[in-house]
Structure 1
Amino acid sequence: MSSEEIIALLPYTGPFLFVDQIEELGDSYIVGSYTFSRESYFYEGHFKGNPVTPGVILTECMAQIGLVSLGISKLAGQDLAALKVAFTSADVEFLQPVMPGEKVTVVSEEAYFRFNKLKCNVKLLNAQDEVCVKGTLAGIFSTK
């Protein structure tokens, strides 16, 4: 399955799509990127005069690339027309802020995938390859 096919199958659209590119894809890992536009709606009030990317948005970016995109690739060969995804858990640690206009890279490695439940170890890096967020994400996939 190609990167373009995976992105097309994601159940998100703008302004809530946080995947620009999938750069690497293996059987048990994925690397993708996203650039946070300075004009994104969530910067307007977070924080006054000093906007930073909200942690929930960073977690969502990690989930879209590191969990859902990897999950879609693992389901290749199945009929994904009725794909549903349920985000089941997140345990993340925020280490550095991500500023408006920054490009981030998400690196995810599968911890396990069984019974259509995927658990991943994910990290979000800035352009200097510094870890901004790291943690474990899990979700369940249904194709029915």
Structure 2
Amino acid sequence: MNIDYVKSILPHRYPFLLVDGVIEEHEDKIVAFKNISISDPVFQGHFPEYPIYPGVLIIEGLAQTAGILLLKDLEGIPLFLGIDEARFKKEVRPGDKLIYEVKKIGEKLGTVQVEGVAKVEDKVVAKAKLLLGVKKK
């Protein structure tokens, strides 16, 4: 599923839409991707001489991927409510295809907890547990 599918669900738009497409989607799990390009605006300042995709944007990409999972049956705005156990393992650089794997691990009082893992070429580059909600329209 391509960017049109992503945009039909998420309210985010360029330059802050950080998911390019969905590879697979199930009831409690989703796998999506972002192609990291040297033309991404973030590389004008992070860092021009040695561009590294910021870890905070990797986590946001995981949260947006979780948002697709949450919003496929709802209408609203995804809310990023918390983050635990975030770890960064490797650099992400222009030319990489960043794979986001997100799995629901809990649900309580209108919030959803997910585990997210970001990979490049099957190597973990980041992981975190995220807490999300949905603001209904």
Matched residues in 2 for 1:142 and 1:16: separation?
19
1:37 is matched with 37
2:130 is matched with 137
Deviation per CA, 1:98-125: give whole Å up to 9, x if none: 0012111111110112332111000000
2:116 maps to 1:117: no
Q: Which residues of 2 match residues 2-13 of structure 1 at below 5 A?
A: 5=5, 7-13=7-13
1:98 is matched with 92
Unaligned runs of 5+ in 2: none
Matched residues in 1 for 2:48 and 2:22: separation?
33
Identity %: 25
* CA RMSD between the two structures: 1.7
Give the TM-score taking structure 2 as reference length: 0.89
Structure 1 residue 33: deviation in Å?
0.7
Structure 1 ranges of 4+ moved more than 4 A: 2-6
Structure 1 residue 27: deviation in Å?
1.1
C-alpha contact 1:119 1:137 (8 A) present in aligned 2:
yes
Matched residues in 2 for 1:57 and 1:7: separation?
18
C-alpha contact 1:7 1:19 (8 A) present in aligned 2:
no
More strand as a share of residues: 2
Amino acid at match of 2:131: A
Equivalent residues, number: 135
What SS class does the counterpart of residue 53 from structure 1 fall into? coil
1:72 is matched with 71
Unaligned runs of 5+ in 1: none
Matched residues in 2 for 1:101 and 1:6: separation?
21
